[in-house]
Amino acid sequence: MSEPQKSGSGRRDFLGATAAATAAGLGFTVLAPGMQLIKFAEANTNTVNTASAATTHTASAKVRWGMLIDTTRCATGCTDCVTACATENAIQPGSGRPGQSSQWIRKIELKEQATGREISLPMMCQHCADAPCVDVCPTGASFKRADGIVLVDRHSCIGCRYCMMACPYKARSFVHEELTQQNPEVPRGKGCVESCTLCVHRVDKGQEPACVEACSKGDHTAMLFGDLNDPASEIAKRIATTATSQVRADLRLDPGVRFQGI
Amino acid sequence: MISTVLSRLGLAIVLGFGLSAWAAVAADGGRVPKPVVKIERPGQCVAPPEVIRRTHMDLLVHQRDRTVHLGERGAKISLNGCIACHASKTTGSVLGSNENFCQSCHAYVAVKLDCFECHQPKTGLIKSAVTAGAKP
């Protein structure tokens, strides 16, 4: 009878000693190789996380990022925006199946049959306020950030491609092949659906999306990026004073991308 | 009789091999080679090594959700931050061989490492702004 009691008290002493060691400033407790006191481990994890959260900026619901595309300035045959997007997000053509390559942005040439008027415009994810891709996603991977940017969380995307079916703008692509040349800020991989992120990694740093920057550099300035909610922003002023429209406005998805001259 | 002798001989051979193998193992201290934990750019990590060894996956999994959904950039915990310090100086990557930081331990403990099916394991392409928040 005395044996178990002895070992019991021994264990208690051991635990007490390790707890004391923790209090002495170790910060976490290893009971044995492979075993840790969970309470202390979690507390420590939280400390590390909180410290990181305090120093960073987060997406704000006060902002609604949007884009205005002036089709009267968009040059026929120019693909500066498409090239810039591919460079920034490391989008490369797939091997041998061009139809399966990712398209985050594409150029479209339209002709009005009755008048012969031709226009050119870039088409990409319209970052809808009521995005159908978000509605249909079975895992919650397709989501809208507080600032209106619609994204795919690849950590939870199962590659079912339901969002691709739901999107009326044909904005999403599926990655069919393994990738190795990703931009470290833009993780992409086989088996996930992806689309224009409005260059979220750049926007979070206070920069414009790569396509907008390229369009300005190419002296077309057909693309304008900004906060639709801020009345002082250039984009808000432009849409308040000129006639602009949303593509397939009849679907009432309230896209964040607006077009002028279509 | 012959078969008995042969079987005894066989047993002796098996025992001999077994013992010599065991002896060789005992000489280097373990049956599996220890992982190579070579820190290329030593400095202060975001947490003590004991904590990082046990909880790096939890730290990363919580921060990734905050980064993707809330747009937190330049957080203290970041995969690109890990890569910036731990990538091999020769290959510029945390993967590639069992000499390289991430792969070395993950191969040792036989835990699948699928971060890098999407994330870039090389440092060369990381822009300075990404790693700004990596170190305290």
- Domain range annotation of chain A: 2-53, 65-260
> Does residue B37 sit within a domain?
no
Please answer yes or no on whether B59 and A45 come within 8 Å at the CB atom.
Answer: yes
Query: What average pLDDT does the segment B70-80 reach?
Result: 90
Same domain for B25 and B57, yes or no, is no
Model confidence band, residue B96 (pLDDT cutoffs 50, 70, 90) = confident
Which value does ipTM take for this structure? 0.75
pLDDT confidence of residue A36: 58
Contact A63, A227 (CB under 8 A): yes
CA distance A109 to chain B (A): 33
Q: Which residue of A has its CA nearest to B61?
A: A155
Average pLDDT, integer, range B78-89: 90
Position B38 in a domain = no
Compare CB distances from A184 to B51, B65, B130 and report the shortest one's residue.
B130
Once rounded to an integer, what is the mean pLDDT over residues A226-245? Answer: 96
Taking Cα atoms as reference points, which of A137, A129, A191, A199 lies closest to residue A162?
Answer: A137
Per-residue pLDDT at B119 exceeds 50: yes
CB contact under 8 A, B70 and A59: yes
CA distance A212 to chain B (A): 20
CA distances from A145 to A148, B29, B108 (A): 5, 52, 39
Query: What are the residues of chain A with a beta carbon less than 8 Å away from any beta carbon of chain B?
Result: 27-28, 30, 36, 41, 44-45, 48-49, 51-53, 55-59, 143, 145-147, 151, 153-155, 178-179, 181-185, 187-190, 192, 200-201, 204-205
Residues A47 and B66: their CA atoms lie apart, in Å, by 15
Residue with tokens 């159908």: A132
Q: Is residue B9 part of a domain?
A: yes
CA distance B14 to chain A (A): 34
Banded pLDDT at A115 (limits 50, 70, 90): very high
At residue B70, the pLDDT reads 94
Domain assignment present for residue B58? The answer is: yes
Determine which of A7-21, A135-149, A194-208, A221-235 has the lowest per-residue pLDDT on average: A7-21
Tell me whether residue B85 is in a domain: yes
Asked if B119 and A182 come within 8 Å (Cβ–Cβ), the reply is yes
Question: With helix as H, strand as E and coil as C, how does chain B read?
Answer: CHHHHHHHHHHHHHHHHHHHHHHHHHHHCCCCCCCCCCCCCCCCCCCCHHHHHHHHHHHHHHHHHHHHHHCCCCCCCCHHHHHHHHCCCCCCECCCCCCCHHHHHHHHHCCCCCHHHCCCCECCCCCHHHHCCCCC
Give how far A259 is from chain B: nearest CA, Å.
27
The answer, yes or no, to whether residue A47 has pLDDT greater than 80, is no
Query: Which domain does B13 fall in, by range?
Result: 1-31
Sheet holding A65-70, edge to edge: A223-227, A65-70, A257-260
Range with the poorest average pLDDT among A1-5, A177-181, B37-41: A1-5
More confident residue, A221 or B41: A221
User: Which chain B residues touch A201 with a CB distance below 8 Å?
Assistant: 73
**pLDDT per residue as tens digits for the range A93-104:** 877 788 889 999
b (16+ CB within 10 A) / e for A172-191 = bbbbebebeebbbbbbbbee
Give the pLDDT band (50/70/90) at residue A13. low
Q: Are residues B25 and B63 in the same domain?
A: no
Give me the residue from B46, B69, B125 closest to A153, CB to CB.
B69
B108 plus B69 within the same structural domain = yes
DSSP per residue, A97-157: -GGGS--SEEEEEEE-TTT--EEEEEEE----TT-HHHHH-SSS-EEE-TTS-EEE-TTT-
Number of domains in chain B: 2
The answer on B127 and B61 residing in a single domain is yes
Residue B94 lies in a domain: yes
Say if residue A51's pLDDT is above 90: no
- Same domain? For B27 and B57 the reply is no
B136 found inside a domain: no
Torsion of CA A31, A33, A34, A35, to 10 degrees: 0
Q: Which residue of A has its CA nearest to B45?
A: A48
The confidence score (pLDDT) of residue A33 equals: 64
Determine the distance in angstroms separating the CA of A117 from the nearest CA of chain B, rounded to an integer.
Answer: 42
**Within a domain: B81:** yes
CATH 3.30.70.20 fits A65-260, yes or no: yes
A28 has a pLDDT exceeding 90: no
- For tokens 């692509």, the residue is A173
Decide if B59 contacts B88 (C-beta within 8 A).
Answer: no
Give the predicted TM-score (pTM) of the model. 0.75
Contacts of B56 in chain A (CB under 8 A): none
- Quote the pLDDT of residue A75: 94
What rounded mean pLDDT belongs to chain B? 76
Beta carbons within 8 Å of A163's beta carbon, 6+ residues apart: A132, A133, A134, A136, A137, A142, A152, A172, A193
